[in-house]
Amino acid sequence: MSRAVWRGTAGALLGLFLFGVGLLITALLIRTYTLPKPRVIWQGEGAQEAKLGDRAIKQLKQALIGAVRIPTVSFSEEEQNFTALAEFKDYIKKVFPRVFSSSFIQHEVVAQYSHLFTVRGLDQSLMPYIILAHLDVVPAPDEGWKFPPFSGEEHSGYIYGRGALDDKSCVIGLLQALEFLLERGYQPQRSFYIGLGHDEEVSGHKGAMKIVEKLQSLGVKLLFAVDEGLAVVDGVIQGVKRPVALLENHPMPNMFGEGPEASMFEQLSREFSFPLNVMMANLWLFSPIISRVLQTTPSSNAIVRTTTAITIFNSGLKSNVIPHMARATVNFRLHPAQTVDEVLDIIRNTINDERVELSVLNSFDPLPISPHDESSFGYQILQRTIHSVFSGVPVVPGICIGNTDSRHFVNLTHSIYRFSPFQLRPEDLGRIHGLNERISVESLKKVVQFYYQLIQNADSNKVPTADQDNHEL
């Protein structure tokens, strides 16, 4: 081959290669900038807003502070502060008199400390839904807190204390929203339930499970359920420019790159700057890189795999005696693509030592993913409410780490959505179950606003269809 011919061939190959690269880049960019925007189904007039004047805000703050002061601690499944749980019942009766005296609200105590409210709507042909929250909190040793954890101290626009976020702000925000609606003379069209469990932090076997049994015995089927979960996160996801509402489709998605987290990243892609937006919009190419990055922080690691934490370790009785036995309790958070049996197999093979005995204390397999398309009533109602309360933040399906009371509701509805209506910054996330848990008064107002509008929005009788006056904005 002459030099000239060789040069010609190499040139052609290089040209072809560059052409291929060009095509690929074009494809990536086209997908990035033409990914359909999640459609906003409902346009125009939404629910009436709660008018939170000075008196209402004071009332609301006092209601939360009083709730935080009652130490409804769950130490273990057997050991809870039952005195405090009983006190809590009297407390909400006193603080929300309209809720407890309304002619269309039935209140009952379930399993001694949990609560079920039935709010009867005007149109009995509409299928009811349920809103869940829980009364109990995890323990909080005094050390390390800026203010004692059960003092409910208000400082620089924040209310501090165990339960300020998880989950008393939801309990109080929800009941307060209903109280305000009743004050306005409102009665819903659609019936709904409010379930307040008393042992969520230690399984929900007594509270939520009994509420489920109660509803099942009445033959109730639910249109959807809303429970605590992910929130509006601001600066929590690196690279996202503005706050975003993450909504969990109960309970967890498939392996990374499939299931709802794929649409989470795709729908979020427009919130990232270049070149992250190109990567998010093209998971078909970039998911190996992204999943590798997600593994590097504990909170996002659980999106990728089952996580492992040794929570109790016991061995030895005296300092001068070698123990003959050691016992460890390990908490696994299962990736949705794995079952309990599969995880056990992996552990058995990893330990590979027959002296080690394995037993399962408590377990459940991941549950199916809730619908989140344009015709899913619950999802659309939530999206509409979140848009209105959090000034149009994008709503995307997400992955919530950890399980809550709503997992007991799978036989009553396929649509379980887990969303906590607060706006969180990264520094607040670690305070949940940690030190100096707090909620800003601004956030607390949004919690009330969220439930206030959610209840009204749920009065619609169906999701509008595509051709009804809702043009793409």
Catalytic residues: 136, 200
Residue 89 is a binding residue for ligand NAG (CB under 6 A)? no
Q: How far is the CB of 169 from ligand NAG (least distance, A)?
A: 20
Residue 71 is a binding residue for ligand NAG (CB under 6 A)? yes
Q: Which range of residues in 95-103, 161-169, 231-239, 408-416 is near ligand NAG by CB under 6 A?
A: 408-416
The span from the CA of 326 to the CA of 95, in Å, is 50
Q: Which range of residues in 77-85, 94-102, 120-128, 218-226 is near ligand NAG by CB under 6 A?
A: 77-85
Residue 329 is a binding residue for ligand NAG (CB under 6 A)? no
Residue 408 is a binding residue for ligand NAG (CB under 6 A)? yes
Residue 76 is a binding residue for ligand NAG (CB under 6 A)? no
Nearest residue (CB) to Zn ion, 28 versus 111: 111
- Secondary structure percentages of the chain, helix, strand, coil, to 5: 40, 20, 45
Omega prior to 426 cis, within 30 of 0? no
**Tokens coding 51:** 């008018």
| Number of neighbours of residue 52 by Cβ within 10 angstroms | 18
Which of 153, 167, 179, 266 forms a contact with Zn ion (CB under 5 A)?
167
Q: Which range of residues in 80-88, 225-233, 407-415, 458-466 is near Zn ion by CB under 5 A?
A: 225-233
Q: Which residues pair with 424 in a beta bridge?
A: 233
The span from the CA of 399 to the CA of 445, in Å, is 25
Residue 363 is a binding residue for ligand NAG (CB under 6 A)? no
Nearest residue (CB) to ligand NAG, 213 versus 427: 213
Nearest residue (CB) to Zn ion, 388 versus 404: 404
Residue 81 is a binding residue for ligand NAG (CB under 6 A)? yes
Nearest residue (CB) to ligand NAG, 216 versus 329: 216
The span from the CA of 390 to the CA of 184, in Å, is 23
Q: Which residues pair with 456 in a beta bridge?
A: none
Instruction: Tell me how many degrees the CA angle 395-397-400 measures, rounded to the nearest 5.
Output: 115
Q: Which range of residues in 52-60, 98-106, 253-261, 404-412 is near ligand NAG by CB under 6 A?
A: 404-412
Which of 106, 238, 411, 465 forms a contact with ligand NAG (CB under 6 A)?
411
User: Which amino acid would we find at residue 37?
Assistant: K
Residue 166 is a binding residue for Zn ion (CB under 5 A)? yes
CA neighbor of 130 nearest in space, from 59, 52, 197, 37: 197
CA neighbor of 228 nearest in space, from 137, 309, 303: 137
Q: How far is the CB of 165 from Zn ion (least distance, A)?
A: 8
Q: Which helix (H) or strand (E) holds 417?
A: strand 416-424
The span from the CA of 257 to the CA of 237, in Å, is 17
Nearest residue (CB) to ligand NAG, 86 versus 255: 86
CB 74 within 8 A of CB 199: yes
Pairing of strands 244-249, 225-233: antiparallel
Q: Among ligand NAG, Zn ion, none, what does residue 173 contact (CB within 5–8 Å per kind)?
A: none
Residues at the interface with ligand NAG (CB under 6 A): 70-71, 73, 81, 83-84, 87, 408, 410-411
